[in-house]
């Protein structure tokens, strides 16, 4: 676990690393909550609340994608402490580029989950 408190003596690399660490933790928390929501929707769907079996399969697939993304973020979270050991700009660029790619992937995934949840809610049969 990284100390994310900001100190006056922190340099740019320290601040960048701490910010990325906190951001990754936030993404992982949101993905865990999303996985729980998707699991609940699958449970509802299995009780014939949805008009479409296809939506249930999409939910299951999206839940699996969420798990894969969580694993990917967890692995990267363990790697970012190595940024302090970078001795050149190429190394620093590698970690910055990785983080930006993960940001795009995370945002796209959350957007797709939101769209799927809206479709599901619109398909629930009146009780």
pLDDT of residue 35: 97
Q: List, for residues 67-102, the tens digit of each pLDDT value.
A: 999 999 999 988 877 776 778 888 888 888 999 999
| Interacting residues of 35 by C-beta distance below 8 A, sequence separation 6+ | 63, 66, 67, 70
Tokens matching residue 8 = 């006056």
Q: Which of 10-24, 48-62, 91-105 has the lowest mean pLDDT?
A: 10-24
pLDDT of residue 70: 97
73 neighbors 106 (Cβ within 8 angstroms): yes
Q: Would the pLDDT of 125 be above 60?
A: yes
pTM above 0.85, yes or no: no
pLDDT of residue 126: 52
Q: Would the pLDDT of 31 be above 60?
A: yes
Q: First and final CA of the chain: distance in angstroms?
A: 47
121 neighbors 55 (Cβ within 8 angstroms): no
Q: What does the angle CA 68 – CA 17 – CA 35 come to, to the nearest 5 degrees? A: 25
Longest dimension (CA), the chain: 63
């Amino acid at each position: 676990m990284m100390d994310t408190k900001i100190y006056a003596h922190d340099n740019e690399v320290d601040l960048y690393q701490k910010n990325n660490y906190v951001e990754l933790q936030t993404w992982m928390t949101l993905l865990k909550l999303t996985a729980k929501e998707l699991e609940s929707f699958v449970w509802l769907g299995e009780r014939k609340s949805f008009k479409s079996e296809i939506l249930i399969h999409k939910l299951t697939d999206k839940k699996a994608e969420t798990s894969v993304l969580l694993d990917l973020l967890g692995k990267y979270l363990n790697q970012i402490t190595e940024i302090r050991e970078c001795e050149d700009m190429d190394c620093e660029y590698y970690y910055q580029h990785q983080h930006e790619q993960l940001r795009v992937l995370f945002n796209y995934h959350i957007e797709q989950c939101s769209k799927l949840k809206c479709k599901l809610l619109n398909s629930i049969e009146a009780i």
